Amino acid sequence: MVTNDVNLDKMNNSHNAKAKVYWKKNIRMVLSLLAVWFFVSFGMGILFVDVLDNFRLFGFKLGFWMAQQGSIFCFVILIFVYVYRMNKLDHQYDMDEDEDNFGPDDICPPGK
Amino acid sequence: MDIQTLTFIFVGATFALYIAIAIWSRAGNTDDFYVAGGGVSPLANGMATAADWMSAASFISMAGIISFVGRDGSVYLMGWTGGYVLLALLLAPYLRKFGKYTVPDFVGDRYYSNVARIVAVVCVLFVSFTYVAGQMRGVGIVFSRFLEVDIATGVLIGMTIVFFYAVLGGMKGITYTQVAQYCVLIFAFLVPAIFISMLMTGNPIPQIGFGSTLADGSNVYLLDKLDQLSVDLGFGAYTEGNKSTIDIFFITAALMVGTAGLPHVIVRFFTVPKVRDARISAGYALLFIALLYTAAPAVASFARVNLIKTVDNAEYKKTPSWFKNWENTNLIAWVDKNQDGKIQYFAGKAFSGKPKFLEMRGPEGERKVKNTPTGNSNELYIDRDIMVLANPEIAGLPNWVIALVAAGGLAAALSTAAGLLLVISTSVSHDLLKKIFLKDITDRQELFFARVSAALAIAIAGYFGIYPPGFVAEVVAFAFGLAAASFFPVIVMGIFSKRMNKEGAISGMITGLFFTASYIIYFKFINPSANSAENWWLGISPEGIGTLGMLFNFIVSNLVSRITSPPPKEIRELVDEIRIPKGVGASHHHIKS
């Protein structure tokens, strides 16, 4: 493989450009997940709790349930969704730590 | 076997386990002592984080508080779990990539300033000491009630155990004991919850039993029954709130952001090998926490129904033994206002303040109190902290379950205390000595200082546990408010804004701290009689003011950083470096050199 200064420079630039796109996508994902986070807790559990209390979920009033249990379930799911999507994004943009150790403990399989 | 013997066996066995782990996982160097060598598996870190986070407050007090305040208790449920979403999405992976030992490390390096580092150290020490005093107190309460030793002896035993594994093992010892403590505490919380759920609703899963019908054949939903019982006694429906929406909003936000900014939780993410591990271990941590946090509101409602059914209109002489036991530990009091020998339980205070017991008994054999009774017809005082500990007895569960709860309460208190003590000792030996005052000490000397400061911190925490300053309960709001108003904005902007500089960060931290602290000090210490909704600014209580402090921190730091010079080139490169997971191995080796 022939490498000279020009090639190295190009590689560096393309790496930087890639890192920029990667960061942008990361921010967009985090913001969308935080919007859900805000909606299930501050929205359904606090601001609209009385409205939702008009509906029932088995023995619960819906607003009460969101405030005391439902939002917590959503939080757990949110983090696992983040982990899955973030690992995938790392891989797409070749930003993951060490591809060599891609083992069975990884949340996302290599490729799509 | 009686409860006391069983408790001795359970507590003794768990303590022996913790000590064995401590000996097995001795720390050999500062890397072991500060971050367990950076080699903890994500699953183990998840459990350790859960135990680290769930303190005596989560285990002993939270369900009790919810039991008495109903829906308003959701501020704790959402606040103390929702913060993990912020932690996982905004902080943990990046701080892991940064790969240092402490929060002041990050603040000092990212803002290229020892002033910022010292401000951060002061916040760390304040937040952690506030918190740890409460844990030692929890240890004392469990010992005095279940093993009938006095609180001071209980605290001393707890201190000895923590001393053993925190001073010997550092983060390494703490991590693996916390894994064991998580198992003990979750088992101890869920077993009685499952028993009671079966007894009351016939459903073994408390999270579902919470929304089921009662098993007494009435076909009434548990929560509907509870609403009706509460309204009958004048308390207002359990599933409806009393606090204003804006206050609930701000308190929840302060607790969430404060959780994400608590240093002893953040450092746990320095102990895993990779960025990917930091992300997933935040997920595991919340999953393990959610097991307890979704059961807690169920336990709260079961306990409330049981309590009302047991005490309302019961003859004092015929009350079960738990009632008299807790009365003897000063946490229950009864004044027979209408002298009918029966307990009348209604909304309102039976007398003002905490009970001051006299050395004499009333006609029914009850302990007399000095307090003047109020004019209402409520005759009963119950400390909220006893609900979880007394719940198995109230429900009439077997003795071994009661002993198990005692061991669980101790596990929760000790695991959090150890995590906090480690953060305290690290900020002294690493951030103050190694980074500022004694720059040329060797690794061995630094390790020695870390152990000495851990031992000192334990002694101070123990002192506060035995002689609790009256303000402990008052300053818990401080810990979260300050963490929210100081660390969280500074760390988030350190990662997400390349333009943020030291002038911005320092002025932001000071604004957030100053504003939050003065609001809390005013309402809690200077003018406590004014501490009510109509005097609060925008209707926000001191518990929720940290949210506003955080917003001010964000605003001030952004304004100041715009009008001062941008951070140097190497800092902008550092931020670029933190933002991508690639190359974490290198950054971890770098800290060893």
SS3 B359: strand
Average pLDDT value for chain B: 86
The reply to whether residue A37 touches residue B71, judged by beta carbons under 8 angstroms, is no
Q: Furthest-apart CA pair in chain B: how many Å? A: 80
The reply to whether residue A78 touches residue B93, judged by beta carbons under 8 angstroms, is no
pLDDT at B146 exceeding the cut of 80? no
Residue B136's identity, in one-letter code, is M
What is the spatial distance between Cα B499 and Cα A22, in angstroms, rounded to a whole number? 19
The reply to whether residue A19 touches residue B580, judged by beta carbons under 8 angstroms, is yes
Local confidence band at B590 (pLDDT 50, 70, 90 cut-offs): very low
What confidence tens digit (pLDDT) does each residue in B404-441 have? 988 998 898 889 888 998 899 888 888 888 888 877 88
What confidence tens digit (pLDDT) does each residue in A79-94 have? 999 999 999 998 888 8
Task: Give me the residue from A59, A73, A79 closest to B282, CB to CB.
Answer: A79
Q: Give start and end residues of each alpha helix (H) in B564-593.
A: 569-579, 584-592
Query: Do the Cβ atoms of B429 and B450 come closer than 8 Å?
Result: yes
Question: What's the pLDDT score for residue A10?
Answer: 65
Residue B87, both tokens: 């932690």
pLDDT at B533 exceeding the cut of 80? no
B256, closest residue in chain A (CA to CA): A41
Distance from CA of B85 to the nearest CA of A (A): 6
The average pLDDT across B522-549 equals 83
Residues on chain A touching B88 (C-beta within 8 angstroms) = 79, 82-83
Q: CB contacts < 8 Å between A and B, how many?
A: 138
DSSP state of B530: G
What confidence tens digit (pLDDT) does each residue in B218-241 have? 888 888 888 888 888 888 888 888
The reply to whether residue B85 touches residue A87, judged by beta carbons under 8 angstroms, is no
Distance from CA of B182 to the nearest CA of A (A): 18
What confidence tens digit (pLDDT) does each residue in A6-60 have? 566 666 677 788 888 999 999 999 999 999 999 999 999 999 988 888 998 888 8
What is the spatial distance between Cα B577 and Cα B584, in angstroms, rounded to a whole number? 9
The reply to whether residue B211 touches residue A98, judged by beta carbons under 8 angstroms, is no
The average pLDDT across B279-304 equals 94
Local confidence band at A104 (pLDDT 50, 70, 90 cut-offs): very low
Residues on chain B touching A96 (C-beta within 8 angstroms) = 276, 581-582
Query: Do the Cβ atoms of B299 and B77 come closer than 8 Å?
Result: no
pLDDT at B56 exceeding the cut of 60? yes
Is domain B3-306+397-592 classified as CATH 1.20.1730.10?
A: yes
What confidence tens digit (pLDDT) does each residue in B23-33 have? 888 777 888 88
Q: Is B361 left (phi over 0), alpha (psi -120 to 50) or beta?
A: beta
Distance from CA of A89 to the nearest CA of B (A): 11
Lowest mean pLDDT among B82-96, B290-304, B308-322: B308-322
Distance from CA of B571 to the nearest CA of A (A): 17
Question: What's the pLDDT score for residue B475?
Answer: 63
Residues on chain A touching B45 (C-beta within 8 angstroms) = none
Interface test with B, best of A57, A62, A75 (most B CBs within 10 A): A75
Task: Give me the residue from A33, A46, A78 closest to B252, CB to CB.
Answer: A46
CB atoms within 10 A of CB B436: 15
The reply to whether residue A34 touches residue B213, judged by beta carbons under 8 angstroms, is no
Phi then psi for residue B577, to 5 deg, are -65, -45
Distance from CA of A74 to the nearest CA of B (A): 9
A79, closest residue in chain B (CA to CA): B283
pTM, full prediction: 0.89
DSSP state of B381: E
Local confidence band at B261 (pLDDT 50, 70, 90 cut-offs): confident
The reply to whether residue A71 touches residue B82, judged by beta carbons under 8 angstroms, is yes
Question: What's the pLDDT score for residue B413?
Answer: 87
What is the spatial distance between Cα B238 and Cα B208, in angstroms, rounded to a whole number? 18
Question: What's the pLDDT score for residue A85?
Answer: 94
Q: Furthest-apart CA pair in chain A: how many Å? A: 71
Question: What's the pLDDT score for residue A105?
Answer: 43
Question: What's the pLDDT score for residue B173?
Answer: 86
Question: What's the pLDDT score for residue B476?
Answer: 65
Question: What's the pLDDT score for residue B183?
Answer: 94
Query: Do the Cβ atoms of B431 and B485 come closer than 8 Å?
Result: no
ipTM for the whole complex = 0.90
- How far from B132 is each of B136, B180, B258, B270, CA to CA, in Å? 6, 20, 16, 21
pLDDT at B289 exceeding the cut of 90? yes
DSSP state of B351: B
What confidence tens digit (pLDDT) does each residue in B201-220 have? 989 999 998 888 888 878 88
CATH 1.20.1730.10 residue ranges in chain B? 3-306+397-592
**Closest to B370 (Cα-Cα) out of B335, B332, B323, B346:** B335
What is the spatial distance between Cα B391 and Cα B306, in angstroms, rounded to a whole number? 8
Task: Give me the residue from B82, B249, B496 closest to A37, CB to CB.
Answer: B82
The reply to whether residue B280 touches residue A83, judged by beta carbons under 8 angstroms, is yes
Question: What's the pLDDT score for residue A26?
Answer: 93
Task: Give me the residue from B81, B241, B245 closest to A75, CB to CB.
Answer: B81
What is the spatial distance between Cα A30 and Cα A26, in angstroms, rounded to a whole number? 6
Local confidence band at B91 (pLDDT 50, 70, 90 cut-offs): very high
Task: Give me the residue from B297, B496, B583 closest to A69, CB to CB.
Answer: B297
Question: What's the pLDDT score for residue A65?
Answer: 93
What confidence tens digit (pLDDT) does each residue in B368-401 have? 888 888 888 888 998 887 888 888 888 888 888 8
Residue B444 burial by CB count (10 A; 0-12/13-18/19+): exposed, middle or buried?
exposed
Lowest mean pLDDT among B127-136, B243-252, B451-460: B127-136
Phi then psi for residue B551, to 5 deg, are -65, -45
The reply to whether residue B224 touches residue A53, judged by beta carbons under 8 angstroms, is no
Query: Do the Cβ atoms of B265 and B53 come closer than 8 Å?
Result: yes
The reply to whether residue B294 touches residue A67, judged by beta carbons under 8 angstroms, is no
Residues on chain B touching A88 (C-beta within 8 angstroms) = none
Residues on chain B touching A86 (C-beta within 8 angstroms) = 93, 279
- How far from B561 is each of B477, B485, B497, CA to CA, in Å? 29, 18, 11
Residues on chain A touching B248 (C-beta within 8 angstroms) = 46
What count of residues does chain B have? 593
Contacts (Cβ under 8 Å, ≥6 apart) of A100: none
pLDDT at B581 exceeding the cut of 90? no
Residue B256, both tokens: 């969430």
Distance from CA of A50 to the nearest CA of B (A): 8
Q: B550-553: which pairs have CB atoms within 8 A and are 24 or more residues apart? A: B550/B254, B550/B257, B550/B484, B550/B485, B550/B488, B550/B489, B550/B512, B552/B485, B552/B511, B552/B512, B552/B515, B553/B485, B553/B486, B553/B489, B553/B490, B553/B508, B553/B509, B553/B511, B553/B512
Task: Give me the residue from A47, A60, A98 closest to B223, CB to CB.
Answer: A60
Residue B525, both tokens: 């210490």
**Closest to A107 (Cα-Cα) out of A89, A94, A93, A95:** A89
Question: What's the pLDDT score for residue B591?
Answer: 40
pLDDT at B471 exceeding the cut of 90? no
